[in-house]
Structure formats: structure tokens, C-alpha cells
Structure 1
Amino acid sequence: MEYPLIDADGHYYEPDDCFSRHIEARFKDETVRVERGADGLGRVFLRGGRTFMSVMPGDYASAPGALEGLFAGGVADGFTHREVINARDYPEFTQKPARLALLDEQGLEATIMLPTLGVAVEYDMRDDVELTYASLRAFNRWLEEDWGYGDDGRIFAVPMLSLLDIERAMTELHRVIDAGARLVHLCPGPIGGRSPADPLFDPFWATVAEAGIPVVFHVSNSGYNHFYGTYWSENPTNPSHLQSPLQWALCNTERPVVDTLIALTLHNLFGRHPDVRVVSIENGSSWLKPLFKTIDKAAALGRRGPMIGGKLPGEPSRALAEHLWVCPFPEDDVNELIDAIGADHVLFGSDYPHPEGLREPRDYIPRLAGCNAEITRKVLRGNTAGLLGLPDRAPASPVRLPEPRAGGR
């Protein structure tokens, strides 16, 4: 490779005070807090009760890429930890200066940085609107302080937003845009009984479109265990590490984002806001091609029914394809994804340093072995550069990156 890569799916492990450091005093005892026991593990509490993410995820984690066998189909014993680490022993997982140094070693010019704990707690507080927004504001202020929104051109952290209350959502959206955010995150799934494409939320979508801010949907706790899994004999209080096989199939991974993309398309978000850009990160991609067919068939069958977002185009799947960018799982067939949506809308992501990701970001390169140089550059760099507003030009002196480390997938 003669150019640096841009990773669309990087992560940090949060500190204990990521929600409490900047929270208003009256919410300090109610928001997400961490209590450490004699074993050193941080238990996560919200309003005095345990959360979906019951233990701070970095306290007892597997090393980057340690679960590759499970997702490649070679191991079948579930989320058993391998090569156990504590993220606090690895500054590059928790501190920006160390991560910047690691980016240089990994041959990365830049990376999008997403939460680990942060995507798992919003649903559990949605019954309290004030607490939800106080907590998200506090988290975003911690994020700005510790990681930043990309002023350095390298680390682009993504602030957490919610559409639970449109006025509060707009206040925080304007604040993070003024603070320099290049992307914003929404939890996949419905919001308080409404589609995220409900016209009630048009001020939000109009603002991100005008500002050129893509909206990221990253795998999250979308609440499907509570409002969906309970209809299938499942325990809605199972924590993240004790999800059942059926819960993984019906309530997690792809289903929330697929439902969300269906709603955005068939509620005509893209017809009302043609400049909106939506990014799916760490939700996989094998569902995309059949989703296009499902959307067009549903639009045809329902053409006489109500259309709360306005009249749909003849092939609404085309609208989705034009407005969607997808970062697949490392184990997904990237060539199949390119065929489905086009090379201009596919992003490379390592999920580093999570155990279900890659041991090294460069381990992704062999997956593009059958692609020509132009497509390879788009996926590894150009497409994400475009979303972040970075120039995609060759460096003045070509950068010869080291070979991927042996042992990667």
C-alpha cells in the first residue's frame, strides 16, 4: 500500500467517569456510574440498578481479534474470553496520545472512534427524558475533552444523540456541530413509539443535511429484548454477555438496523431530505441485497395505504442505495457488498481493539485482493475521507506501509 488507510470502525474503552465527570449535580446519583469491587471489576449501575452492559467492558476483555475463529466459523463455543486483557493496561485503548502513536504504527491516517459502553445504555433510561439528555450531554462533553471530533484530522469521535425529545435533540445537535462534530450517532430502532423518519423529526434531519453531517447507526442496545424478545419466551433482563441464541438472532446485530433502514426508506426520509447521508457501522452487510428487494416489494404492495412521510418513488431501494454507506463485518463478503451497493458506498472498518474485530487494521487488505486499485483505494480510504470531509489525494511522498502482521485473518 502506498497510501495511509482510514478506518471507519475504531473504538475506545471508556473510563469510569465518562457519564459522571460532566453531569449536572442533580443527576449525578441517577446517571451511569461504576462501582469497583474487591476483584477490581467495575459494575455498571443506572439509577441504582444494573444495566445491559453489567461490567465495564474493558475490565475483562479479549485481546483485539481474539474471537476471530468464532466469526470465521471455526469455533462454536460462544463469547468465551480468549487472551484476556484489561484495557487500562493498554493506553492506546483509553488515551488519545497513545492511540495517535498507534495509528502511525498501523498505517492509518485517521479513524472514526465509537463507544463501547456508551452504545449500550440509552435505552435503559428512555423513560426519563431529562436524565437521558443530561447523560448524553455529559458523555459528549467527556468525549470532546478526551478524544475530540477530528480537529487534528486523525481521530474523529462520534457524539451520541437521541430523538426522544425533538427540542432537546436539536439543542444538543447544534451544540456538537458548533464543537466541530463531523458525524453524529443515533441508536437504531424506534424512538418512543415513533419511526426515526417520522416528520416530527424533520428539523433534525434538515439540520444534519444542511450541515453535511452523516448520521451513524452503530450496533447498540436498541431495546428489542424488552419490546420484542418478550413475545418469544425470552428474559428481557439478560445482560449483554448472557444473551440467548434467539436473542442474538431476533433482538441484536442486524435486525434493529434493518428495521431502521426500512423505516427511513418507506417513510420517505430521503424524498423529504435528499442531502441526508446515513452510515451503518458494525451491523454487518449480508442483509443488504435482500433488503433492497423487500423494500421495493413492500412499496408496491402498500401503494394504496397511508404514507406518513409522503409519496414514495417507483423504486425506493434506489433512494436507500444513494443515501447509505455500509461498513461490513470483517467476516462479510466485501465483493458481494460492492456488487449490491457499489464501490463508492463501502467502507473499511477493523472494529479495533474489540475482540470480534481484526488483530490489525491492515489485516483487511487481503479481502480486497480481487478488486482493482481504484476500488481498493475507495474502500480503504477514499469513501470514508469523503464522509469526514478529508481530501483524498496521494501524499507528496508515497507512504510505504509495513506488511500486515502474520497471524491476522
Structure 2
Amino acid sequence: MDYSLIDADGHYYEPDDCFSRHIEARYRDATVQVRRGADGLGRVFLGGRRTFMSVMPGDYASAPGALQGLFMGEVADGFTHREVINAKDHPEFTHRAARLALMDTQGVEATLMLPTLAVAVEQDMVGDVELTYASLRAFNRWLEEDWGYSAQNRIFAVPMLSLLDLDQAMAELRRVLDAGARLVHLRPGPVGGRSPAHPDLDPFWAAVAEAGVPVVFHVSNSGYNLAYGTLWSEDPANPSHLQSPLQWALCNTERPIVDTLTALTLHNLFGRHPNVRVVSIENGSNWVRPLLKNVDKAAALGRRGPALGGSLPARPSEVLAEHLWVCPFPEDDVRDLITVLGPERVLFGSDYPHPEGLRHPADFVGLLEGCDEVTTRRVLRGNIAELLGIPDRRPAARPA
């Protein structure tokens, strides 16, 4: 290739003070804290309670791509940790300058940067709205300080937002936009017992549409252990590393994003806000084809029922496909996703440096074998460049 990659799914490992460094004094003892034991591992607490992410994920992690073979069919001996690392020994996972240098060697021009710890703690705070917003504000200020929203136009960190309280959501949205955020994040799932597409929340969606800022839904702890796990004989208090197979199937993979996109579509968010763009990252893509079929079927079956967000079009699937960008897992059928959504809506993402991602971001290129050059370039850089509002520079013409 004569161009570099733009990665839609990159990660950092957070430091112990990512929530506490900039927290307002009255919330310091209540927000996310890390307590280190004699073994050196940081246990994660909210107030006096252990959280879903019970140990700091960078303290004891498998190396980048360590599980790639398992998920892509090359390893048959189960889900095991290999090549255990501590992120503190790898500054490229924790510091911006080192990451930029690594990106140069990887052929990665730019990357989105998403949380490791922070996507797992919002559910632990959901009963305290004020603490939720104080903690997210503090986290975003740390994010701005350590990584930046558009560092050298190469690292694009994504701030965390919540729709639990509209006024506070709007205030933090305006603040991060003023600070230069190119995308914002909402966790998948319902929000305080209501749909994220409820008309009461229209001011938020109108604001992101006007700003031209896409909304990212990245895999998170969406509270589905309470919503589903308890109905199926599972312990909702299981921490992240002790989730059962059924909890992974029902609570932590496809269901939250599928439910969320179904609600956005059938509650007619895109009809009310035609310029909203939503991006699914690290939720896989095998659900896309059946989802498009199911929203059309549901709209037909429910045509005589109440329409919370207004009347639906004849084929809601077509509207959803116009507003949705998807970053598939490496083990998914990427070419089938391109067939379903079109090459303009598929994004390359490595999940680097997480163990369930790719060992090297460029390993994704092989998943596009058989695609034409225009499609390949779109997926590997052009589509996310457009979402970020950065130029998709064309290579200089080669001399004859």
C-alpha cells in the first residue's frame, strides 16, 4: 500500500488517578479509586465497594493480540492468558509521545483512543447522578491532559458522556466540544430506565448533529447483568474476570448494542435528527444483517402501536444503514459486512493493545483480500478520516 492506516479502535491503559486527579473535592472519596496491595496489583473501588472491573486492567494483561489465534480459529485450547504484561512496562500503552513513536513504526497515521477501565465503571455509579457526572468530567479532563482530543491530528481521544441528566449532559458536551473533541461516547443500553432515543433527550441529539460530531457506542458494562443475568440464574455481582459463559452471551457482547440500535431506529431518532451519525466500535458485526431484517419486521408488526418518536418510514433498516458505521471484529466476515452496509460504512479497528485484538494493526489488511483498491482504502483510512474531519490525503502520482 502507498498510504498509512487510520485505526478506529485504539486503546490506552489508564493510570490510578484517571478519575481522581481532577475530581471536585467533595466527590474525591466517592469516585473511582485504586488501592494497591502487597502484590502490586491495583484493586478498583467506588467508595468502599469493589467495581465490575475489580483489578486495574493494565496491571495484569495479556500482550497485544495474545488471543488473536483463539478467536480467529488457530488455537483450540480455550481462553487462557499468554504473555502476561504490565502496562507500566510499556510506555506506548500509557503515554502519548511513546504511542506516537510506535504508530510511526506500525504504519498508523492516526487512531481513535478509547478507555479500558472507564467503559466498565459507569454502571457502578448509575444510582448517583451527581457522582456520575463529577466522575466523567474529571475523567475527561485527565483525558485532555494526557492524550488530547486531536494531538498532532493523529491521536483522537474520545470523551465519555452520559444521558442520565440532560442538563449536565449538555453542559459537558459543550465543554468537550469547545476543547476540541471530534467524537463523543455513550455506553450502549437504556439510560436510567428509558430509551436513549426518547424525545426528551432531543436537545442532546440536535446538538451533536449540529456540531457534526459522531456518537460512539463502544462495548461497555451496560448493566445487563441486572437486566438479564438475574433472570437466568446468574450472579449480577460477578466481576469482569469471572463472568460466566451465559453472561458473556447475554450481557456483555452483542445484546446491548443490538438493543440500542434497535431503539434508536424504532424510536425514530434518525427521522427527527437526520444528521446524527453513530459508530459501533468493539461490538463486532455478525449481528448487522439480522438486525436490519428485524427492525423492518418489527416496524411492520407494530404499525398499529404507539410511536414514541414519531411515524416510521416503510423500511427503517435503510435509514439505520445510512446513519451507522461499524468496526468489525477481526474474526468477523468483514467482506460480508461490506456487502450488507456498503464500503462507506465499514471501519478498520485493531483494538490495539488489547489481547483480544490484533497483534499488529496491519494484520487487518489481510481480511480485505479480494476487495478492490477503492474499497480497501475506504475501510483502512478513508471512512474514519471523513468522520474525524481530517483530510484523506491521496498519494502523489507515480511518474510514468
Structure-2-length-normalised TM-score: 0.98
Aligned to 1:96: 96
**Structure 2: distance between partners of 1:165 and 1:240:** 27
SS in 2 for 1:44: strand
C-alpha contact 1:79 1:241 (8 A) present in aligned 2: no
Displacement after TM superposition at 1:72 (Å)? 1.7
SS in 2 for 1:13: coil
C-alpha contact 1:159 1:184 (8 A) present in aligned 2: yes
Aligned to 1:44: 44
C-alpha contact 1:283 1:329 (8 A) present in aligned 2: yes
Aligned to 1:295: 295
SS in 2 for 1:326: strand
Displacement after TM superposition at 1:313 (Å)? 0.3
**1:5-404 aligned within 5 A:** 5-75=5-75, 78-396=78-396
Displacement after TM superposition at 1:307 (Å)? 0.5
SS in 1 for 2:207: helix
Displacement after TM superposition at 1:397 (Å)? 8.3
**Structure 2: distance between partners of 1:75 and 1:237:** 31
Counterpart AA for 2:336: E
SS in 1 for 2:111: strand
Displacement after TM superposition at 1:80 (Å)? 2.1
Counterpart AA for 2:17: D
Question: Percent sequence identity over matched residues?
Answer: 78
Displacement after TM superposition at 1:28 (Å)? 0.5
C-alpha contact 2:35 2:44 (8 A) present in aligned 1: yes
SS in 2 for 1:200: helix
Unaligned runs of 5+ in 2: none
**Structure 1: distance between partners of 2:224 and 2:379:** 32
**Structure 2: distance between partners of 1:122 and 1:189:** 12
Displacement after TM superposition at 1:69 (Å)? 2.3
SS in 2 for 1:298: helix
Displacement after TM superposition at 1:369 (Å)? 1.1
**Structure 2: distance between partners of 1:290 and 1:135:** 37
Displacement after TM superposition at 1:287 (Å)? 0.5
**Structure 1: distance between partners of 2:120 and 2:326:** 21
Displacement after TM superposition at 1:10 (Å)? 0.2
Counterpart AA for 2:309: G
**Structure 2: distance between partners of 1:359 and 1:184:** 27
Aligned to 1:407: none
Counterpart AA for 1:354: H
SS in 2 for 1:10: strand
CA offsets 1:19-69 (integer angstroms, 9 cap, x no match): 000000110010000000110000000011000000000000000000112
C-alpha contact 2:51 2:124 (8 A) present in aligned 1: yes
**Structure 2: distance between partners of 1:187 and 1:396:** 41
Displacement after TM superposition at 1:78 (Å)? 4.7
When the two chains are superposed, the root-mean-square deviation of aligned CA atoms in Å is 1.0
Matched pairs, number: 398
Counterpart AA for 1:130: E
**Structure 1: distance between partners of 2:151 and 2:51:** 33
**Structure 2: distance between partners of 1:151 and 1:334:** 30
C-alpha contact 2:72 2:330 (8 A) present in aligned 1: no
**Structure 2: distance between partners of 1:299 and 1:76:** 42
**Structure 2: distance between partners of 1:65 and 1:178:** 36
Counterpart AA for 1:214: P
**Structure 2: distance between partners of 1:81 and 1:43:** 19
Displacement after TM superposition at 1:151 (Å)? 4.3
SS in 1 for 2:65: coil
Instruction: Label 1:293 to 1:89 Cα distance change in 2 as closer, same or farther (>3 A).
Output: same
**Structure 2: distance between partners of 1:252 and 1:290:** 19
